């Protein structure tokens, strides 16, 4: 099917970018996956007692990141003004859609199992060069950004805390001015790339009164993860896995220079929301691709597998399951396309971003539930990766705002008069 709804000016960009990315994965990533298959598919070998990746896998992942940077893929979504490829923000979801449809769950989306090697393929606000650095001053751009662009150093986007997830106004981490430096105290949790980051973009309260009144008071600083008082926690064990690339850290009187502030004093709320919005659209595109992968596998299986003397494809109950999957994929894709058009026009369509995120992730989980049912006992095996796709979709209902938060935000936008569709 032709993607008639994708803006014309984006089609050639998407097509060329996907061709380059898939070529890189086939030539540079898949051979390494084959080389380390025994480790990647046995998490007792993949992770050490501390929850961190085995040294050889970490070295391989760092190598892929740097090769991707050299090839021009890693920072392709970062703005040109910070040294990136400058691709339109609306392109990202469709790149992730294509990658996930081609390679399936556990590879490009969430950093578990084999995906530890392909995760560094494309940088985002959670780990590398991104729109976040538009708000950085000369010190960060000169001293940090070059190695981040080269894939030699990584960052993390540290908002969430033990007592504050979707509610940013519940944050407790504080920063106090001390001459030309700030002293940061607090803790962060559930932060992607925290166990491996070299720098952390930390959101901290700098004006308690303004923050309590929901009128600002939140500031972003780029902290060195090796600074005295910065202590990383063990990576989180997440839904069926022994570890992940998600973790936390504590800050005990961590000092950071004033020129390592990102954005303006007290003005970090919009930075946080912009990053989260980027994450929501990325998840939407990835889940769309994952759902299509599940439908593709289901169709193949239904044509080949026979029960009661006929192919599964001739059983009406399974026909309806796959038709339902197609209907939901179609509707979700065009919700994402409409949102992408608005993004391409320079808007930040809050309602549509939330709709795209919630719709795609919940659709994806339903698609994997049906795909598992279609495959019967084989659907439950780890061999086909359908159960991994189901877990990914279930997990994705939490980060960057839960499905309930998406609905809450959608309703608030409707109350403000944003009722156009």
Say yes or no: 178 and 257 in one domain: yes
| CATH number, domain with residue 360 | 1.20.140.10
Residue 201 lies in a domain: yes
What gap in Å lies between CA 13 and CA 92, rounded to an integer? Answer: 11
Q: Are residues 227 and 250 in the same domain?
A: yes
- Number of domains, the chain: 2
Listed residues 213, 231, 266: the one ending a domain: 266
pLDDT, average across residues 98-111: 74
Q: Is residue 362 part of a domain?
A: yes
Do 95 and 22 form a contact (C-beta atoms < 8 A)?
Answer: no
Query: Coil, helix or strand for 249?
Result: strand
Take residue 306 and report the two structure tokens written for it.
């026979």
Does the pLDDT of residue 116 top 70, yes or no? Answer: no
260 with 274, same domain: the answer is: no
Share of the chain above pLDDT 70, in %: 96
CA dist., res. 36 & res. 29, Å (int): 11
Q: Is 341 found in the same domain as 237?
A: no
**pLDDT of 110:** 42
Are 226 and 312 found together in one domain? no
Cα 24–chain centre separation: 20
Residue 197 and residue 235 in one domain: yes
**Cβ atoms of residues 349 and 297 within 8 Å:** no
Q: What is the CATH number of the domain that holds 239?
A: 2.40.110.10
Residues 252 and 175 in one domain: yes
- Asked if the structure places residue 159 within a domain, the reply is yes
Residues 192 and 275 in one domain: no
- Domain assignment present for residue 388? The answer is yes
Instruction: Annotate 14-81 with DSSP letters as a single string.
Output: HHHHHHHHHHHIIIIIHHHHHHTHHHHT-HHHHB-TTSPBPHHHHHHHHHHHHHHHHHT-TTTTS-GG
Is residue 318 located within the same domain as residue 225? no
193 shares a domain with 180? yes
| 84 lies in some domain | no
Give pLDDT, residue 74: 95
Task: Look at residue 54 and tell me if it is in a domain.
Answer: no
Residue at 219 is within a domain = yes
Judge if 315 and 242 occupy the same domain: no
Render pLDDT for 19-65 as a digit per residue (tens, 0 to 9).
999 999 999 988 988 899 899 888 899 999 999 999 999 999 999 99
- Provide the domain limits for residue 310: 270-415
Last residue of a domain, one of 234, 266, 298: 266
Residue ending a domain, choose from 210, 235, 266: 266
């Amino acid at each position: 099917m032709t993607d008639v709804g994708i803006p014309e000016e984006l089609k050639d960009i998407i097509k060329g970018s996907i061709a380059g990315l898939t070529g890189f994965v086939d030539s540079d990533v898949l051979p390494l996956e084959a080389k380390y298959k025994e480790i990647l598919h046995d998490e007792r070998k993949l992770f050490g007692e501390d929850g961190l990746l085995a040294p050889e896998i970490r070295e391989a992942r760092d190598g892929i990141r740097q090769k991707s940077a050299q090839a021009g893929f890693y920072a392709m979504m970062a703005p040109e003004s910070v040294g990136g490829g400058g691709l339109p923000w609306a392109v990202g979801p469709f790149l992730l859609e294509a990658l996930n449809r081609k390679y399936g769950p556990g590879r490009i989306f969430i950093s578990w199992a084999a995906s530890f090697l392909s995760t560094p393929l494309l940088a985002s606000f959670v780990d590398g060069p991104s729109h976040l650095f538009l708000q950085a001053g000369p010190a960060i751009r000169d001293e940090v950004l070059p190695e981040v662009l080269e894939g030699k150093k990584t960052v993390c986007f540290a908002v969430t805390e033990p007592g504050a997830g979707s509610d940013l106004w519940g944050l407790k981490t504080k920063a106090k001015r001390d001459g030309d430096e700030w002293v940061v105290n607090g803790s962060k949790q559930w932060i992607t790339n925290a166990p491996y980051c070299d720098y952390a973009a930390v959101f901290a309260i700098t004006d308690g009164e303004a923050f309590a009144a929901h009128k600002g008071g939140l500031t972003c600083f780029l902290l060195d993860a090796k600074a005295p008082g910065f202590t990383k926690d063990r990576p989180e064990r997440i839904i069926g896995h022994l570890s992940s690339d998600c973790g936390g850290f504590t800050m005990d009187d961590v000092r950071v220079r004033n020129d390592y502030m990102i954005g303006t004093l007290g003005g970090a709320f919009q930075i946080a929301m912009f990053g989260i919005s980027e994450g929501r659209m990325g998840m939407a595109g990835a889940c769309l691709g994952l759902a299509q992968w599940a439908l593709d596998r289901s169709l193949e299986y239904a044509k080949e597998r026979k029960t009661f003397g006929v192919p599964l494809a001739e059983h009406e109950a399974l026909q309806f399951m796959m038709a339902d999957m197609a209907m939901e994929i179609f509707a979700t894709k065009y919700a994402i396309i409409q949102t992408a058009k608005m993004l391409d026009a320079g808007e930040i369509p809050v309602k549509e971003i939330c709709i795209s995120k919630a719709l795609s992730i919940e659709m994806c989980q339903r698609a994997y539930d049906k795909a598992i049912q279609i495959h019967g006992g084989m659907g439950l095996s780890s061999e086909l990766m359908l159960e991994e796709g189901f877990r990914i979709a279930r997990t994705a209902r939490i980060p960057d705002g839960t499905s309930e938060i998406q609905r809450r935000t959608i309703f608030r936008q409707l109350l403000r008069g944003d009722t156009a569709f």
